[in-house]
């Protein structure tokens, strides 16, 4: 005979309702404090883990092309965290979401850990919560409890409401990122006009000095006076050249030309290899995902400058480019088999290396160069995404 389930008392119902409202209020407040999509997702995962006593959580979102990418993650087991390829591509929960079979939260066996024992930390199943906004599919939130057991029906239902809050935050974050991008374009155009005016004035000053020198030469003026005018013109030229270098570094026309970063990088590597008649490969690890505009532009420019340096100085026959995208950081590695150099002996006028280092620092990142004469060169750039 089946045991009878004791019904909830009014007090227990009130306590449960208060707990649910408190959780929803805390998560909504946390996400409302962040307009940036990446920070909003990380804040949501942090509070979901604390309030639901969860061990691991991660979010897959759909990009504009309809492909999934890992948008945020917390405490992934080593078998997933240390192997970005395992967190890319399809899996059972994403397949169910795409096919419309995930209409509500459900407990699912993790197909990404199938046949794995080492590094799973005991994780075998997780709860999957569909993310939507006004009927539009956005992605999937996956969570696992501290004891890796299935989540209860009440918690799944509450997580469904959390998913609704996440959906709103995702749409708002994407709108914010678009507004930032438009604002960046407007600011770039404004600064470009400003620089044009500055350079135009500088060039006008140089022209005036050279015309003065020409007149002095025709009138047989004192050579010392002519040299002073020419020296002034040379100094104006140097000043304007330095101003142009500083300005053009960040104000060139949009380098990605509306393409995703991965596509733009792949085309850049392919075109460079064709021009240099060298072998070059480009590989992406992790799930390609939209990054902040300034990060995408910075990484593209760094790769562009790295390839330019290889072409000018390395005389390499083989180049490998690797882009690793993780929830909290992105890493770009460029390696060649060229003649190499001693990084300690690089002169200050190597604008390519200086520019790449400055770009990385502006993004709160780091640039490391490993090289030696005759042993090729490896460049590693790491940009933390949370800092953006």
144 vs 284: CA distance, rounded Å: 28
Domains held by the chain: number: 2
Residue 1, pLDDT score: 45
**HSE-CB of 304 using CA atoms within 13 angstroms:** 16
* Residues 16 and 140 both lie in one domain: yes
Structural domain includes residue 136: yes
* Residues 149 and 17 both lie in one domain: yes
More confident residue, 1 or 309: 309
Share of the chain above pLDDT 90, in %: 27
Q: Collapsing DSSP states into helix, strand and coil, what is residue 285?
A: strand
**Residue 165 has which token pair?**
């809050």
Q: pLDDT digits over 77-110, tens only?
A: 999 988 888 888 889 999 999 999 998 888 998 9
Structural domain includes residue 78: yes
Structural domain includes residue 35: yes
Mean pLDDT, the chain, integer = 83
Q: pLDDT digits over 221-265, tens only?
A: 888 888 888 888 888 787 777 666 655 554 554 567 778 899 999
Domain hosting 54: range is 11-179
Closest CA to 73 of 325, 371, 340: 325
Q: pLDDT digits over 33-49, tens only?
A: 777 788 888 888 888 88
Beta-carbon count within 10 A of 242 CB: 10
Q: What is the DSSP letter of 85?
A: G
Contact between residue 144 and residue 124 where contact means Cβ atoms under 8 Å apart: no
CATH number of the domain where residue 294 is located: 3.30.565.10
Beta-bridged to residue 130, according to DSSP, are 140
* Residues 265 and 167 both lie in one domain: no
Where is mean pLDDT largest: 193-197, 203-207, 211-215, 302-306? 302-306
Structural domain includes residue 99: yes
pLDDT greater than 90 at residue 321: yes
pLDDT greater than 70 at residue 167: yes
More confident residue, 31 or 79: 79
CATH number of the domain where residue 148 is located: 3.30.450.40
* Residues 171 and 271 both lie in one domain: no
* Residues 173 and 269 both lie in one domain: no
- Of 179, 194, 218, the last residue of a domain is 179
Q: pLDDT digits over 134-160, tens only?
A: 888 999 999 988 777 788 888 888 888
* Extended strands (E) in the chain: 54-62, 68-74, 106-109, 125-133, 136-145, 279-285, 318-325, 329-336, 366-371, 377-384
- Of 135, 158, 179, the last residue of a domain is 179
Residue 342, pLDDT score: 86
Structural domain includes residue 205: no
Structural domain includes residue 155: yes
- Of 128, 150, 179, the last residue of a domain is 179
Between the alpha carbon of residue 349 and those of residues 7, 262, 341, 353, the distances in Å are: 78, 31, 15, 9
Structural domain includes residue 202: no
Structural domain includes residue 140: yes
The angle at the Cα of 294, spanning 242 to 192, to the nearest 5 degrees, equals 45
* Residues 169 and 274 both lie in one domain: no
* Residues 137 and 28 both lie in one domain: yes
């Amino acid at each position: 005979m089946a045991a009878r389930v004791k019904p909830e008392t009014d007090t227990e119902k009130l306590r449960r309702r208060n707990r649910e409202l408190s959780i929803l209020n805390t998560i909504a407040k946390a996400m409302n404090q962040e307009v940036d999509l990446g920070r909003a997702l990380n804040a949501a995962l942090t509070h979901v883990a604390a309030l639901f006593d969860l061990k691991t959580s991660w979010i897959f979102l759909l990009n504009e092309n309809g492909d999934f990418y890992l948008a945020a993650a917390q405490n992934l087991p080593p078998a997933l965290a240390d192997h970005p390829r395992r967190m890319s591509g399809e899996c059972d929960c994403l397949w169910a979401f795409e096919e419309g079979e995930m209409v509500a939260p459900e407990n699912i066996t993790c197909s990404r850990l199938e046949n794995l024992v080492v590094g799973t930390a005991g994780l075998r199943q997780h709860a999957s919560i569909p993310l939507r906004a006004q009927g539009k599919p956005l992605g999937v939130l996956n969570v696992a409890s501290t004891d890796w057991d299935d989540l209860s029906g009440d918690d799944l239902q509450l997580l469904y409401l959390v998913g609704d809050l996440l959906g709103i935050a995702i749409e708002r974050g994407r709108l914010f990122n678009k507004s930032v991008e438009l604002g960046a374009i407007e600011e770039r155009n404004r600064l470009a006009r400003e620089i044009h005016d500055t350079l135009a004035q500088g060039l006008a000053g140089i022209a005036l000095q050279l015309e003065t020198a020409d007149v002095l030469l025709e009138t047989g003026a004192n050579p010392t006076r002519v040299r002073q005018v020419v020296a002034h013109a040379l100094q104006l030229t140097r000043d304007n050249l330095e101003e142009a270098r500083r300005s053009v570094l960040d104000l060139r026309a949009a380098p990605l030309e509306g393409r995703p970063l991965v596509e733009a990088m792949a085309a850049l590597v392919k075109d460079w290899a064709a021009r240099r008649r060298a072998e070059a490969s480009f590989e992406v690890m992790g799930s390609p995902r939209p990054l902040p505009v300034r990060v995408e532009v910075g990484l593209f420019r760094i790769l562009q400058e790295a390839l330019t340096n290889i072409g000018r100085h390395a005389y390499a026959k083989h180049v490998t480019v690797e882009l690793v995208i993780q929830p909290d950081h992105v890493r770009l590695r460029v390696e060649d088999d060229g003649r190499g150099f001693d990084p300690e002996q690089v002169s200050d006028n190597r604008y390519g290396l200086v520019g790449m280092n400055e770009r990385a620092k502006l993004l709160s990142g780091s640039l490391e160069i490993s090289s030696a004469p005759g042993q090729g060169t490896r460049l590693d750039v790491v940009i933390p995404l949370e800092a953006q």
